[in-house]
Amino acid sequence: MIKSRLCEMVGIKYPIIQAGMGPFSNNNLGVAAANAGALGLLSTSGLADKEGQPFVYDAWIKTAEADPNDDMATAMEKVLKRTYRLTKDKGGVFGINVMVAAEMVPQAKIIIETAIRVREENPDMKKHFKVIFTSAGDPVPWRDTIKNAGFTWMHVVPSVKGAQRCKKAGVDVIVASGHEGGFHTSWEPVHSMILLPAVVEAVSDDKTLVCGAGGFCDGKTLAAALVLGADGAQMGTRFLATQESDFHQIWKEAVVEAGDRGTLVARGFVGPARWVKNKRSEEHAVNTLKKSPGVFLGTPDDYSTLDMALINYEIESIKAVYDGNKEKGMMAAGECAQRINDMPKVADMVQGIVKEAESILQGVQKKYLA
């Protein structure tokens, strides 16, 4: 059986993190991943734009067993209690993914403070709700709030510089996300084969763990992450294309059908984003080249200068997926989509990944070490 510091720190069976993907709810997927022995992460991005994207909000609320009239704190409390109820008997471990970008700070503050309060008010929940995973922003301002609350703190970064910032903040697990990843990617295209070992060398020690993200989807890539010095791997696209995934069926099918060179990069809500290649996303890429060339040049722009037609196009395309309109929809996915050709149950998938990784690691030792 694979032994990992991540498993020991968090209390999970396998060194696999199910990414807290949005914009769809993944409240059911998070439960399934946790009960399968991975770390299940709940996305909270669906709560962020009730007025602008009500179709996202409504789907999140429904799978949280919440009410559309609930305020953000009440909705968060309900989804946490639901997840605890559905994971406690199977020993599942879960957490929340919170975007802490500057424009999201007010919402992030409510979500994180609610998570801390609910766990303190329900002490038995501490055996299962163990992780706060922050993303898309600076971790340092959140140090005192999260570090003093007793959670394992994880944060995702696209660079060594970002990892060092996490080190300063006291993050427990730094997730190095290569450019292969789905949806939100970094402005500079540094891929996992370079990024992951560089981050391991820069920050990994007795107190700081490192995991890989971006391109990890099976036993081969999990084994590679461990050999590169990581303590585990985060997988998003692979978990998206499962039977328990909350994502719309046409989104899941798009991943399975992606094929060789099946993704591209174009503008997203918070910068570059990776999409499944289709006519709609190809048109978006052409428009991105004209209106947001920094996506391809590694030069960030923001809403103060950006032609908002790009963002509106994305919103329309996401809504089309919710409506089941495959022709007008855009579906985000990582490069590993081209290596995914089935839609299994989460537990079967996790078992298969772990079994394959174990076999590979044992085989490497026998084949290459005398």
At position 260, the amino acid (one-letter code) is D
Residue 93 vs residue 22, higher pLDDT = 93
Record the pTM. Answer: 0.94
237, 234, 247: which is closest to 60 by C-alpha?
A: 247
What is residue 30's predicted lDDT score, i.e. its pLDDT? 97
Helix, strand, or coil (residue 216): coil
pLDDT band at 101 (very low <50, low <70, confident <90, very high): confident
pLDDT band at 22 (very low <50, low <70, confident <90, very high): confident
Helix, strand, or coil (residue 300): coil
Asked if residue 353 lies in contact with residue 239, where contact means CB atoms within 8 angstroms, the answer is no
Structural domains present in the chain: 5-247+346-368 (3.20.20.70), 252-336 (no CATH)
Does residue 24 have a pLDDT over 80? no
What is residue 31's predicted lDDT score, i.e. its pLDDT? 97
pLDDT band at 370 (very low <50, low <70, confident <90, very high): low
Mean pLDDT across the stretch 87-105?
Answer: 91
Mean pLDDT across the stretch 83-105?
Answer: 92
200, 239, 296: which is closest to 19 by C-alpha?
A: 239
Helices (H) and strands (E) in the chain, counts: 15, 11
Contacts of 227 (CB under 8 A, 6+ apart): 361, 364
Q: Where are the beta strands (DSSP E) in the chain?
A: 16-18, 39-43, 93-99, 129-135, 152-157, 173-177, 183-184, 209-213, 233-235, 263-268, 271-276
Give per-residue pLDDT as tens, 272-308: 999 999 999 999 999 999 999 999 999 999 888 899 9
Question: What DSSP assignment string belongs to 227-290?
Answer: HTT-S-EEESHHHHSSTT--S-HHHHHHHHT--TT-EEEEEETTEEEEEE-SHHHHHHHHHHHH
